C-alpha cells in the first residue's frame, strides 16, 4: 500500500499540457492556514479537519483551518498586539505592512471561521474566553459570507488582534499547472485557555485532535490522505514536547516559498518539490503516475 499523498487524477494531463506549452499558469491568491496546537500528556496535538469528498479541491484530504486573504483587510487599521506590521512583512517576505496585516488577519479569521477559536482580546494581553453565544455565531456567519471584513469585525467588537500568539512556520505555493492556485502562509498557534474547537466549517465533515507523529504514521500507512504541504508542516512538530516549544522554534523556520517543479526527462515527467524529496513523482509521458 502506498502512502496517503494527495495526487489528483487530472494532474498528469495538466502537467503534460504545461510542459508542452499549452497551459498558462493562473494567478495565485494569497492565503493563510493555522496549525492549532494544544498540549497533551504525550506532547502537543494538532487540530485537523477532513475536507468533504464533494469538494472540488482536495476532497477527502486532512488539512488545517485556512482560506484566502480578504483584500479589505489590507486597507483598514486594526488594533494590533505583538510584533509590528513591519516585522511581519519581513518575516512573511512581502513588500508592505498592509499586505502583512491582511495575511495575519486571514490566519486569525480562518481559525475563527472554521474552528471557532479567536486569537484576539479586549486588551493587548488578553484573549476572549468564549465564542459560542448566538451573537458570536451571527458575527462568524457574517464573516463566512464576506458580509463584513475581519478588520470591521474587530473594530466593532473593540478587539485587539494578538499577532504575538502566531508563529510563521512555512510558505507553499500551489503548482503552476493547478487551476486553483494559492500562495499560502502556514502559522502555528496554541489553543487559548478557555476556548475550545468545534467543526464550524461547511467544507469539513470531520475534525480531530491528533499528535503529529500519529498523523504522519497514518499518512505513511495510506490511512490519512494529505497534501504535500500538510505533511511537510506536520512532521517537524513531532520533535517538540509542548506547544510553547514548537512556537519558540517557529522563529528559526525557513519561510522561502516552496513551489513544485515539473520536468521532462527521457520517457517520464518528473514532478518534485525542491527540498522535499518524499513527494517526488515519476509520471510516464504516456499517462499514469508513479
pLDDT digits (tens, 9 = 90+) for 55-111: 555 568 899 999 999 999 887 789 999 999 999 999 999 999 999 999 999 999 999
Angle, in degrees to the nearest 10, between helices 97-115 and 85-92:
80
User: Apex CA 139: angle with CA 155 and CA 75, to 5°?
Assistant: 40
Q: What percent of the chain has pLDDT over 70?
A: 93
Gyration radius of the chain's alpha carbons: 19
Looking at per-residue pLDDT, the higher value among 269 and 216 belongs to 216
How far is it, in rounded angstroms, from Cα 201 to Cα 50? 10
Condensed to tens digits (0 to 9), the pLDDT of residues 95-153 reads 999 999 999 999 999 999 999 999 999 999 999 988 888 899 899 999 999 999 999 99
Superfamily of domain 27-255: Nucleoside Triphosphate Pyrophosphohydrolase (3.90.79.10)
Q: What's this model's pTM, rounded to 2 decimal places?
A: 0.93
Q: What is the pLDDT of residue 16?
A: 87
Residue 288 has pLDDT above 70, yes or no: no
Amino acid at each position: 500500500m502506498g502512502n496517503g499523498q494527495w495526487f489528483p487524477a487530472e494532474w498528469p494531463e495538466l502537467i503534460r499540457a504545461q510542459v508542452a506549452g499549452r497551459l498558462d499558469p493562473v494567478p495565485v491568491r494569497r492565503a493563510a492556514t493555522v496549525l492549532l496546537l494544544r498540549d497533551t500528556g504525550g506532547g502537543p496535538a494538532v487540530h485537523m479537519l477532513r475536507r468533504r469528498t464533494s469538494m472540488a479541491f482536495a476532497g477527502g484530504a486532512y488539512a488545517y483551518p485556512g482560506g484566502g486573504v480578504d483584500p479589505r483587510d489590507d486597507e483598514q487599521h486594526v488594533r494590533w498586539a505583538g510584533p509590528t506590521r513591519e516585522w511581519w512583512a519581513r518575516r512573511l517576505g512581502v513588500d508592505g505592512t498592509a499586505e502583512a496585516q491582511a495575511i495575519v488577519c486571514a490566519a486569525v479569521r480562518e481559525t475563527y471561521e472554521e474552528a471557532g477559536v479567536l486569537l484576539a482580546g479586549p486588551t493587548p494581553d488578553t484573549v476572549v474566553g468564549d465564542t459560542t453565544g448566538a451573537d458570536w455565531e451571527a458575527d462568524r456567519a457574517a464573516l463566512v459570507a464576506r458580509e463584513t471584513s475581519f478588520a470591521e469585525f474587530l473594530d466593532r467588537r473593540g478587539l485587539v488582534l494578538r499577532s504575538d500568539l502566531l508563529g510563521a512556520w512555512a510558505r507553499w505555493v500551489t503548482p503552476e499547472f493547478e487551476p486553483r492556485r494559492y500562495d499560502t502562509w502556514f502559522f502555528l498557534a496554541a489553543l487559548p485557555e478557555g476556548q475550545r474547537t468545534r467543526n464550524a466549517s461547511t467544507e469539513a465533515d470531520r475534525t480531530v485532535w491528533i499528535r503529529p507523529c500519529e498523523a504522519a504514521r497514518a499518512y505513511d500507512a495510506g490511512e490519512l490522505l494529505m497534501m504535500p504541504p500538510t505533511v511537510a508542516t506536520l512532521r517537524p512538530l513531532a520533535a517538540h514536547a509542548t506547544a510553547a516549544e514548537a512556537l519558540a522554534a517557529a522563529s528559526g523556520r525557513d519561510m522561502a516559498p516552496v513551489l513544485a517543479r515539473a520536468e521532462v526527462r527521457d520517457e517520464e515527467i518528473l514532478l518534485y518539490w525542491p527540498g522535499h524529496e518524499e513527494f517526488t513523482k515519476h509520471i510516464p509521458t504516456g499517462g499514469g503516475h508513479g
